[in-house]
Chain A
Amino acid sequence: MDGDNSTTDASQLGITGEYMASGHYVLQSQEDDGEENMNDHDDSGIKENFREQDIYLPIANVARIMKNAVPQTGKIAKDAKECVQECVSEFISFITSEASERCHQEKRKTINGEDILFAMSTLGFDMYVEPLKLYLQKFREAMKGEKGIPGVSVGDNLGDDLTDESFSNPMPAGIITADGQQQNVMVYTTSYQQIPTVQQIQFS
């Protein structure tokens, strides 16, 4: 962690994090141009062609979740939104690497739900695990209820590697239902009246 070259100016001056009283710093100019620093503070990213952090979730979605999480009167600075966007990619990579490693250790090729939950537990996000299990359960129940086919586990068809098409296009659920009925229902969005409200986690 210390001495890493992601903090540009400190390392350029030959000073590593160890010299600082707390953590490492990046220099900013007098005006707070947060956006600029956002993009070029990781020098090592320029050397590599493609880091996982370069792919981000859409900022509008991220910003909306943030906005709904903080009190009504709260505002979010633009550089904060962009920053969380990057943090999110970091989080996903963080979890995925851990899950992937466990998979390899057990000589499996497919990362499954258990791997993800285990990774979260290991990495300090165990407070998410129970709510997530609940969400998954509700989702499955909703899927079964929607299709009206008891005993058909949606997971069966989708246990294999999924193509992007499964998710990115609003495909009719004909690919999932066995009765061939044309329904304008997407994989993840069903009539959620069936799902009782899951208790929102209190983060403070």
Chain B
Amino acid sequence: MKMSQNTPVKDDDQTSTNKKSLSLPTSRVRLIMKSSPDVSCINHDALFLTTKATELFVQHLAVSSYTNRAEKETKSLSYSDLANSAEENDTFQFLTDILPKKILAGDYLKSLEQLQEDDDDADF
């Protein structure tokens, strides 16, 4: 029974979001929902649907980012793959604030210089 425990059940891992119970704890989902302003009551269906949708979302984000990952050989999903997804996929646009792309300081300064040069050249 996996409300908030991670009880290892044999075939459950493979099919958790297909057949079995919710693989995310609804109490925690509810807590997050309640932390939104002006939320008073959440009915049973709403909680179930949100929890289920969250599972789908995790799958969606993971698969989408993995498929489009930069380093195809390593077969590893990295943070930057996620950040790229947020930028390139309309559905994940809302994540851009919390998934800023990372850039090495040196590269940043170089691109800054480049942009300033462009600004100087351009007619404003």
Q: Does B70 contact A (CB under 8 A)?
A: no
Q: Give min CB distance, B63 to chain A, whole Å.
A: 4
Instruction: Identify the closest chain B residue to A201 (Cβ).
Output: B56
Q: How far is the CA of A195 from the CA of B20 in the complex (A)?
A: 9
Give every chain B residue within 8 A of A79 (Cβ-Cβ). Answer: 78-79
- Tally of chain B residues near chain A (CB < 8 A): 86
Give every chain A residue within 8 A of B20 (Cβ-Cβ). Answer: 189, 192
Tally of A-B residue pairs with Cβ under 8 A? 306
Q: How far is the CA of A22 from the CA of B23 in the complex (A)?
A: 37
Give every chain B residue within 8 A of A6 (Cβ-Cβ). Answer: 97-98, 100
Q: Give min CB distance, B24 to chain A, whole Å.
A: 5
Residue from B25, B45, B108 whose CB has the most chain A CB atoms within 10 Å: B45
Q: Give min CB distance, A184 to chain B, whole Å.
A: 8
Binary interface encoding of chain A residues 14-52 relative to chain B, with 1 for a CB under 8 A from any of its CBs, else 0 = 010001111111111110101001100110000000101
Instruction: Identify the closest chain B residue to A161 (Cβ).
Output: B41
Binary interface encoding of chain A residues 76-106 relative to chain B, with 1 for a CB under 8 A from any of its CBs, else 0 = 1101100110111111111111011000100
Please judge, given known A-B contacts A28-B104, A41-B100, whether A74 and B76 are in contact too, CB under 8 Å.
yes
**In contact, B3 and A167 (Cβ under 8 angstroms):** yes
**In contact, B55 and A65 (Cβ under 8 angstroms):** yes
**Residues 87 to 121 of chain B near chain A (Cβ within 8 Å):** 87, 90-91, 93-105, 108, 111-112, 115
Q: Does A152 contact B (CB under 8 A)?
A: no
User: Pick the contact of A168 from B3, B15, B78 — CB < 8 Å?
Assistant: B3
Q: Does A200 contact B (CB under 8 A)?
A: yes
User: Pick the contact of A57 from B1, B25, B49, B94 — CB < 8 Å?
Assistant: B25
Give every chain B residue within 8 A of A83 (Cβ-Cβ). Answer: 79, 82, 99
Question: A-contacting residues of B (Cβ < 8 Å)?
Answer: 1-4, 6, 13-33, 35-50, 52-67, 74-79, 81-82, 87, 90-91, 93-105, 108, 111-112, 115
16 contacts between A and B (CB under 8 A): A20-B111, A27-B103, A28-B105, A57-B28, A64-B16, A65-B17, A69-B58, A70-B77, A80-B79, A97-B36, A116-B45, A116-B49, A135-B48, A159-B43, A192-B19, A203-B63
Top 8 A-B residue pairs of the complex, sorted by shortest distance between their CB atoms: A113-B45, A158-B44, A189-B21, A110-B41, A69-B59, A168-B27, A52-B35, A66-B62
Other A-B contacts than A25-B100, A75-B75, A77-B78, 5 sampled, CB-CB below 8 A, are: A70-B63, A80-B81, A91-B57, A155-B45, A201-B56
